[in-house]
């Protein structure tokens, strides 16, 4: 891909990351990975493989017990990190625009200053006409779009997504996958995308980290060099099926151990 410099320092580097919960369950053990700036990486694996835990460690919401997390490109954790949860996680009492405004509001930016950015973020997810709607007046897919707009309004260098489209129907999900890729291509934020769908991970990512459970660990690191935008031609290509089978095989091997 153009603009890809293999020698550039990665945005994020994980070495020997481990996490054990108070109840003795080993969520993660010996995680080594590095993620390049502007990359799109998926973490795929069964429930309980610690992929959400890893995402939370990257976000700084929880601390790892062992190992180090470093930010070679920037030196420190970016001040702005976008986070999208499985549910849209909107404030039900606030209009769509106020939900998107939240990250800026918490930084002390006035509405007057923030308004163009909020409207722009809503525009980018195709919800410019719904700025005044309350979450319950929106469909599940639209709520998720508001959630993405909220995550992107600060123009973060890093976007973390925790099974964001898992609760949506397949059509909505496919549309959001494509829209997410378009946003990513336009803005080039680094994306770490947690999913339990092999197909989704292969379709979206440049790289899939396949994870196994008990303890949570990385089973395989699969590069997908297909160019973007991918669209349905990739989805229907033999190459796509081949990579899905590869991810699937890695998961099977992990489960067998």
Q: List all residues 6 or more positions away from 206 whose beta carbon is below 8 Å from its beta carbon.
A: 1, 39, 40, 41, 223, 224, 225
Q: CA 32, CA 236: separation in Å to the nearest integer?
A: 33
Nearest residue (CB) to other proteins, 24 versus 108: 108
Cα angle 252, 256, 257; round to 5: 125
Q: Omega into 229 within 30° of 0, i.e. cis?
A: yes
Nearest-approach distance from CB 175 to other proteins, in angstroms: 22
Nearest-approach distance from CB 247 to other proteins, in angstroms: 28
Nearest-approach distance from CB 82 to other proteins, in angstroms: 9
Nearest residue (CB) to other proteins, 5 versus 136: 136
Q: CA 132, CA 220: separation in Å to the nearest integer?
A: 45
The answer to whether the CB of 55 falls within 8 A of the CB of 64 is no
Nearest residue (CB) to other proteins, 6 versus 92: 92
Nearest residue (CB) to other proteins, 99 versus 195: 99
Order across the sheet with 190-195: list the strands: 81-84, 158-162, 190-195, 40-44, 207-212, 217-223
Nearest-approach distance from CB 92 to other proteins, in angstroms: 5
Nearest-approach distance from CB 85 to other proteins, in angstroms: 5
Q: CA 223, CA 175: separation in Å to the nearest integer?
A: 24
Nearest-approach distance from CB 225 to other proteins, in angstroms: 32
Assigned token pair, 157: 């260098």
- Residues at the site binding other proteins, with contacts judged by CB under 8 A: 56, 59-61, 81, 83, 85, 87, 89, 91-94, 102-103, 105-107, 134-137
Nearest residue (CB) to other proteins, 26 versus 59: 59
Q: Is 165 helix (H, G, I), strand (E, B) or coil?
A: coil
CA proximity to 41, closest of 225, 219, 209, 211: 209
Nearest-approach distance from CB 196 to other proteins, in angstroms: 18
Q: CA 194, CA 200: separation in Å to the nearest integer?
A: 10
């Amino acid at each position: 891909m153009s603009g890809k410099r293999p020698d550039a320092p990665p945005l994020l580097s994980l070495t020997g990351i481990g996490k054990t919960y108070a109840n003795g369950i080993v969520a993660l053990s010996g995680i080594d990975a590095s993620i390049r700036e502007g990359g799109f990486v998926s973490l795929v694996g069964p429930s309980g493989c610690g992929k959400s835990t890893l995402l939370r460690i990257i976000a700084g919401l929880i601390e790892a017990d062992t190992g180090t997390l470093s930010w070679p490109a920037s030196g420190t954790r970016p001040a702005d990190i976008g986070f999208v949860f499985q549910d849209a996680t909107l404030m039900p009492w606030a209009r769509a625009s106020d939900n998107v405004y939240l990250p800026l509001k918490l930084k002390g930016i006035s509405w007057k200053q923030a308004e163009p950015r909020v409207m722009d973020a809503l525009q980018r997810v195709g919800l410019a006409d719904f700025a005044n709607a309350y979450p319950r007046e929106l469909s599940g897919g639209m709520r998720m779009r508001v959630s993405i707009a909220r995550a992107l309004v600060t123009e973060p260098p890093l976007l973390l997504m925790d099974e964001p489209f898992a609760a949506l129907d397949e059509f909505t999900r496919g549309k959001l996958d494509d829209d997410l890729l378009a946003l990513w291509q336009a803005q080039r934020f680094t994306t770490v995308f947690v999913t339990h769908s092999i197909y989704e991970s292969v379709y979206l990512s440049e790289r899939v980290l396949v994870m196994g459970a008990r303890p949570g660990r990385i089973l395989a690191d699969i590069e997908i060099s297909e160019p973007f935008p991918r669209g349905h031609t990739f989805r229907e290509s033999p190459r796509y099926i081949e990579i899905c089978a590869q991810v699937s095989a890695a998961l099977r091997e992990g489960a067998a151990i």
